Amino acid sequence: MNKNRFDNKLSRPGLAFQPLYKQVEEHVTQLIVEQRWKPGEMLPNEFQLANELNVSQGTVRKALNSLTDAKILNRKQGIGTFVSEHTGHHSLYRFFPLIADGKNPELPKAELLSVDTQVATKQVAQALELDTTAKVIVLSRRRILNNEFCMAETIFLPHKYFAILEQQPEVPHTLYHFYQTQFNLTVRDTRDSIKAVLATIKDAQMLGIQAGEPLLEVTRVTHSLDNKAIEFRLSRCRSDHYHYLVELG
């Protein structure tokens, strides 16, 4: 194995004051961002990584365990460690927590209504850490569970990362896998804010309900592995026979 393959960056000034396993964790993350290992690809084993990075195997194991807990890596017993893929199944529990009452979690379908380019509003620019004159791609769509509309979404994406969507003929249901495979933007974390609201006339038309019915409004900011704010999402969710599930562990 080429000893210079990873350009041993553990001595970078920005990492010098962190515990050694955190330095390894950030270095491996950066290599994934740089596409040294692509989604679904297997990493070298712990011994090889320890040798390449000049650290102990225990330090590498601790770093990989941390990245596995963060869903960046996927460890398969007896096989190896792989870069996680945001496939539909993988994303089901982590990124779509709206569930029909009394039902098991399901991956919803999506109806794309429009794709537009706009200048970011103050709220969107702040969420996406953009200048107020920056452009964003705006996706409008409805999510479908049990053959009914359960959620209306407006999704704002920085134009500088997603400009190709202006000409994209189709946008898939599972956007995070799409971001990962088409734009090399792997989701690291999302932050949701939830509050109770009443359906507007537009909500009623979008979801097939009556104006004034209770909804859950969810605002989500999504960051990539290299800490870019890549998505701001505003969702209006039915609450008549759906609930929002959050599991901590």
pLDDT above 60 for 11: no
Calculate mean pLDDT across residues 199-209: 96
Model confidence band, residue 17 (pLDDT cutoffs 50, 70, 90): low
Calculate mean pLDDT across residues 143-169: 93
pLDDT above 90 for 65: yes
Higher pLDDT, 149 or 10: 149
Q: Phi/psi at 216 (nearest 5 deg)?
A: -105, 125
Using alpha carbons only, give the angle 190, 194, 199 rounded to the nearest 5 degrees: 130
- Is pTM beyond 0.85 here? no
Higher pLDDT, 88 or 103: 103
User: Which region among 34-38, 63-67, 78-82, 158-162 has the lowest average model confidence (pLDDT)?
Assistant: 34-38
Domains and CATH numbers, the chain: 13-83 (1.10.10.10), 99-244 (3.40.1410.10)
Residue 112 CA, chain-centre distance (Å), reads 19
**Model confidence pLDDT, tens digit, residues 220-232:** 999 999 999 999 9
Secondary structure (DSSP) of 37-83: S-TTPBPPPHHHHHHHHTS-HHHHHHHHHHHHHTTSEEEETTTEEEE
